[in-house]
Amino acid sequence: MNEILFLTSNKHKITEAQTILNKYNLKLVSFPGKGEEIQSDSLQEVARICAKRAYLRIKKPLFVEDSGLFIDALNGFPGAYSAFALDKIGCEGILRLLGQERLRGARFECAVAYADKNGTRIFTGAVLGSISTQIFEGEGFGYDPIFIPEGHKQTFSKNFEVKEKISHRSIALEKLAKFLTEKKE
Amino acid sequence: MNEILFLTSNKHKITEAQTILNKYNLKLVSFPGKGEEIQSDSLQEVARICAKRAYLRIKKPLFVEDSGLFIDALNGFPGAYSAFALDKIGCEGILRLLGQERLRGARFECAVAYADKNGTRIFTGAVLGSISTQIFEGEGFGYDPIFIPEGHKQTFSKNFEVKEKISHRSIALEKLAKFLTEKKE
């Protein structure tokens, strides 16, 4: 079983990735620290360049992941800078920015970039939903306490089984896992 | 008179820099487009790496500038991502995040990175102040309509002469101009 490095320091992301890759008999090794990320509105560009440069340095098959929450009424904010905004203003800041706004549509996006000697490949995932009017603490991390996926009534934080199945990150990681499995056969 | 390239697409910044460098008999040439910026909480790091990489590409003396508004009550948000936040949520979003907060202290910071064949140098500037409770349209750009410098009653947008003298960017650019002038003598 070949090892694949996952460049991240986020324990939640490691757990989520392990759950999925293990199903495909792929061995994930977390590589602490994150690669250098450029400033860009495009998650795909951030992930692609990050993975490419990390591979040139580490020279082992690896992937990086970049996710963002894009809120319609905030012109896509916090988007590619979701981690930064979460750290500074939190879910509470997002609710304050939205105020009494009725159109609360949003989407979570994820870009996984995999790099090996053959180059870099991108796998994406997205999930549509809306922003709740209050914070629901529970499982998960990040903006899970305020994101309600379409067709459901509870936030990701209150419905973690659903998150594991339909989240932006799960979708992108499933694509990566399938690609790696098919490649080996 | 040697030419110095300023990598930016921001017309306001070009005008501000020209006003200062011309006083020192330095000729500014704006270089459209911006260099690649990394994601970092540190303006100095963003500017330094951007200038260094741009110099390797362009091979002419150049500088880049990165500024940010750091608001105490928002844990330093929007900080190094001020341009992005302005584009997405605007001054209005900042006021909404602060709400009725009474402690409205903030600072503007600027890092100018100059690169030539001898390497990269950083010049910084900062100005303390506070965030107004409403938006005052006027001159300037960015967060000028909501930033009141310490010791003054009006925002930068309503007091542009003061801005030219004491702003974070003016201070950093004055340092750059002095460095370049002394170097030539």
- For residues A61 and A2, give the distance between their C-alpha atoms in angstroms, rounded to a whole number: 9
Give the closest residue to B147 by CA, choosing from B43, B69, B67: B69
Q: Which residues in chain B have their CB less than 8 angstroms from residue A36's CB?
A: 38-39
Q: Which residues in chain A have their CB less than 8 angstroms from residue B38's CB?
A: 36-39
Catalytic residues of A, which ones?
66
Give the closest residue to B143 by CA, choosing from B73, B83, B88, B102: B83
B interface test, pick of A88, A95, A98, A100 with most B CB neighbours within 10 Å: A88
- Name the DSSP letter for residue B53: H
Q: What is the pLDDT of residues A100-121, one digit of tens each?
A: 999 999 999 999 999 999 999 9
How near does any CA of chain A get to the CA of B91, in Å? 12
- For residues B63 and B71, give the distance between their C-alpha atoms in angstroms, rounded to a whole number: 26
B interface test, pick of A9, A37, A39 with most B CB neighbours within 10 Å: A39
Nearest CA in chain B to A71: B88
The Cα-based distances of A35 to A52, A130, B6, B39 in angstroms read 10, 31, 28, 10
Q: What is the pLDDT of residues A129-139, one digit of tens each?
A: 999 999 999 99
How near does any CA of chain B get to the CA of A117, in Å? 25
Nearest CA in chain A to B72: A88
- For residue B39, what pLDDT is reported? 84
Average pLDDT, 10 consecutive residues per value, chain B (185 residues): 85 92 91 81 92 93 95 96 95 97 96 96 96 95 97 95 93 95 74
**Helix, strand, coil content of chain A in percent (nearest 5):** 45, 30, 30
Q: What is the pTM of this model?
A: 0.85
- For residue B185, what pLDDT is reported? 57
How near does any CA of chain A get to the CA of B24, in Å? 33
**Does ipTM top 0.85?**
no
Domains and their CATH numbers in chain A: 3-184 (3.90.950.10)
Bridge-based pairing of strands A3-7 and A27-31 is parallel
Q: Which residues in chain A have their CB less than 8 angstroms from residue B41's CB?
A: 84
